[in-house]
Every structure is written in C-alpha cells, then in structure tokens.
Structure 1
C-alpha cells in the first residue's frame, strides 16, 4: 500500500465523485484513478466504495478506513516537515522588550539597524510594564529592553531619550482651552496618580509637584497609560504622563504642555554585558544613531 493510494481514496471519499476527484483534486485521468482504487480495495480485502448512478459512497469498511487513512497521510506530512526542520541549521533568536507604548517610537529604529540580520534570525518583540522588562533582561528572557531605569543586577542601562511630561485632560476640561498648564492649575483638580508599578514615573511626578508647592491627593492610582487615559476621560481628572502617549490619545482626551521647563523622565536601553549575542553587539554599535534619530512617531500638537 502506497501513500498515493491513501490520498486518492481520501479525495474520492470527500468529493463523493470519481470524476470530480480526478479532475479537480488529483489532476489525473478517471480510468487511472479507478484502477488505483481497485488496487487499494484488493489489498485491503474488502470494497471501500459502493458505486451508483449518483456517484460513489463509502461502505461501512470505507468509513472505518477513512479516519486511519487521514491520520496516516497527516503523519507522513509531519514526518517530512520534521526532517526538513532538522536539516536546517537552528536560527538565532533575538528578543526585544518594550515598555508598553514605546514600540511605536522605537521598534522602527531597531528593525532599521538590524535590517541585514532579520532574514536569518527569529526576531521576537514583547510589550510589558517597565519592571517586567527589567526582570526579563535580568533572567535572559530578552536580549534588549526599552524601559525606565529599573535597578537589576548585571543589567546595564544607557539613556536614549529624556521625555517631557505633559498634562493629560478631557477635551471638555476648562484647562483644555489653554495653550499650556501651570503647576498651580492642578490644585483642586481630580488628580490621577500612580501605583507602585510605574514607580519611576510616580517619583518624577511627586518631585515635580513638591518642587512647585502643589498639594494634590490622587483620587486614583494607575498602572499604565491606557488605564490613565480611561480614568481621565471617565472622571474628568488630570494626569501627568510622558509625551510618548500623545499619538495614542483618543478624541475624548487631549494633552497640554506644562508651563516653563517641564519635568522629564529617562527612557533607557537595557542589556546584559555578558550577553554574547552578535545581534546585540550590532545594535549597540549603532546606538548613537538611534539616539540622534530620536522617537520615530509624530507627536500630536493638539
């Protein structure tokens, strides 16, 4: 019994017609197909089809044979793929982790720098909270990270951008009519603060408010910018977020620059110096170009 016999049998069983199976599925002559099926039935020792004026139907034996035939053909195809995979040399994996939202600005730079390497490697991208990116770098789950400075043993950081903070508020908010927002304008407003997850951003905002003598008590504490935008829109409150979120704002929320010199938060590239990946070394060799290019996204000017 040969695999082609099983493929012919499956095609006829599924089409219910020798003519259709021969012409549309198998691209062979019907007499040849009929002969192959008779050979199969002879080897099995029992009829697999009953032939009538309206085509062919499976006999009880044919129905029992069909599932096993499909399994055998499927296993043969998988055996071929397994052999081909084993014959190919393993592809090097290079993984990059982004603080959620930053991939919009920085992934284009990564793919541009590594363009020559991408066809020969398995390139993976993940989006996580900043502390989780730091953990993934430390454990070796990822090779490169775009995140805040998260102190982790053996992880090296290099600042690639200092992102200004902006005020995020509802489109209908009274402060939305102004070109910029002063620290004192935040007094008495519903203020959306931060949880322990974005702790670097929380510390920057707290320091900014303290330096400007602004006393606010957050009504909510957020983990990420998406939660922040939702709460700003639903509560009518105000949040201070890095400017990279501006292109991601929905119509119901706008941004306004802060009066004077705004506070900034560092965006860094993190990696382990003991990582031997030549792909990582290729990226680090071009990191000055990445810094000079800056964010790839276009900032909203609303």
Structure 2
C-alpha cells in the first residue's frame, strides 16, 4: 500500500473520474494497463481511508467522498503544474511563449485558424496547445498559465474577458439504429420516455442551455446519466441506447454506432468564445485580439454532417 499520497495518484484519480471508466482512462488518457490503474486507485482509496468510486457494469461514479475529494485533487495538480511551468520559464527567461487552450474537441475546428492568425509570430515563439474542460481553462487563464482559450463564457471570473466567435446549434445524438433516425429532424417531445444522457456540472453553460430548452418545451426529464466529455457521451449513448442533446461540434466524435439529427423548430445554441485575462500584456495576445474578427468571418461548419446516416 502507498506510504503517502503522491501526485500521480491524484492524476490517475482525476482521469478516472472525468472519463467515468477505468478502461477508457487507462487506454486513452494515461496509456497504462487497466489492472495497474485499478491497483493505483485502490491504493489511493486505502490511503484516503474511504471508497472514492462506486463500480458497476456501466463504469465508475464518484461517491460522496470522491466528489468532496476531486476539487482538492484538481487544485493540487494545478498548483504542481504551475510550479513546474514557473520553474521552466525561469530557466529560459529569454524565450517568448504563447499558450492556447481549447475546450476539449474544439481544437479540431479552431487550431488551424488560431495558428493562421499568429503565423508571423510562430518562428519566434514557443507555442503550447492544450485541451481541457471550460472551467479549467478559466482557471488557467486566471493563473496566467494560458494566454488565450477557446471556451465557454464561465461566470465568476471577473478578471477575464470574452469575445464570442461562434454560436453553434444543439443537435440530437442517438444510436445509429434508433427509432428516431427515421426523421430528418427530431421533435424534442419525441424523447419523452427515452434514456436521456445529460451534461454534468463541469459543462455548466451547456447543462443550463439544455435544461432551459427542455423546460421551454414543458419536458421534465431527469438524466439517467451525466457526462463530462464527448468520448464518455458516445460510449453511454451506444451502450445504454440513450439519447443526448449536444452542440454540433460533437459530430467530430461520432463512431459508426452513433448518429445525429437536427432538432425541429428553432434549436438552442451555445456560444464559443475566445477568453483571455484582462491584465495580460503579451504583445502576441494583443496582436491576436486585433485580428480576432478573422475568426468570425469563416467559422468552421459541420452542417453537412448533421444528417449523415451511419
């Protein structure tokens, strides 16, 4: 058993919590063997003194103790990463750096556009790119670990400013052989009685948009599961034969077993913004913001995929 809690245990714990699966966390995030990861999680639970997860055939979910533990675990990892980054910057003070963060999955649509805008600066800077949840991007901007982020507008960060660059509609996501695939567009009232996959608090702006849309259509639907990321969403939709309402960029992640349809009527939309810290004096950031309107001129489009049959 562990003699003390180590940083790697916290990182393993966070990965499992966010993926909702030991297997997915081991293979996709940590690149380690699942039995080894299970052993590390058991060691951590032994050190903490209480179970942090409940296990089932659907995956793992945080216990009450796990939910209390995860915020502190994230903070500890964030502070350790900040300490490492500060030491590296101090060791190479002459290097100009520019750090861009993306809401997980949005880098597929926007990384090329972002680098095009700062192309003239690229030969002279060290560019770093990361993908995180939107609340984590806000924290990284606030702590100056990121210069710029493609994200959702997160409340509670007055030191940050946001510029809306795109507004994407929500679409219905379902198994490829689901009964609703016979429709070119899905009436939201058709999902009454279906297994519904909802968003977790980590995706706060998205969760609020979905709940407001359901309420506006007089639907009182309680999610059977809540998801943290799109990989987890696709896995649950395929395995439970449930349905979900997700922003259009989710279409980048559709496996063969999952498909989509537009929503009938006027679908809800959610904004993608460029976030940055108001006090950031980076000349590269200033240059980027002066040309940010270029992103609005040609926003990535996925509309051709919406009714793709699989």
Q: TM-score, normalised by structure 1?
A: 0.69
Pairs within 5 Å for 1:64-213? 90-151=94-155, 152-213=157-218
Instruction: Say which of 240, 256, 267 aligns to 1:251.
Output: 256
Residue 251 of structure 2 contacts residue 302 of structure 2 at CA under 8 Å; is this kept in 1?
A: no
Residue 230 of structure 2 contacts residue 253 of structure 2 at CA under 8 Å; is this kept in 1?
A: no
The residue aligned with 1:281 is 286
Query: Displacement of 1:292 after TM fit?
Result: 1.2
Per-residue displacement from partner, 1:213-251 (whole Å, max 9, x unpaired)?
A: 112121001111111111001100000000011122111
Residue 147 of structure 2 contacts residue 276 of structure 2 at CA under 8 Å; is this kept in 1?
A: yes
Per-residue displacement from partner, 1:25-71 (whole Å, max 9, x unpaired)?
A: xxxxxxxxxxxxxxxxxxxxxxxxxxxxxxxxxxxxxxxxxxxxxxx
Change (3 A) 1:297 1:264: closer
Are 1:238 and 2:243 matched, yes or no?
yes
Query: Displacement of 1:158 after TM fit?
Result: 1.0
| Local SS of the residue matching 1:175 | helix
Change (3 A) 1:107 1:298: farther
Query: Displacement of 1:195 after TM fit?
Result: 1.4
| Local SS of the residue matching 2:267 | coil
Query: Displacement of 1:299 after TM fit?
Result: 4.8
Q: Which consecutive unaligned segments of at least 5 residues does structure 1 have? A: 1-87
Residue-pair matches, total: 215
* Structure with greater Cα Rg: 1
Residue 166 of structure 1 contacts residue 257 of structure 1 at CA under 8 Å; is this kept in 2?
A: yes
Q: TM-score, normalised by structure 2?
A: 0.67
Are 1:224 and 2:223 matched, yes or no?
no
Cα distance in structure 1, aligned partners of 2:244 and 2:301? 24
Residue 248 of structure 2 contacts residue 302 of structure 2 at CA under 8 Å; is this kept in 1?
A: no
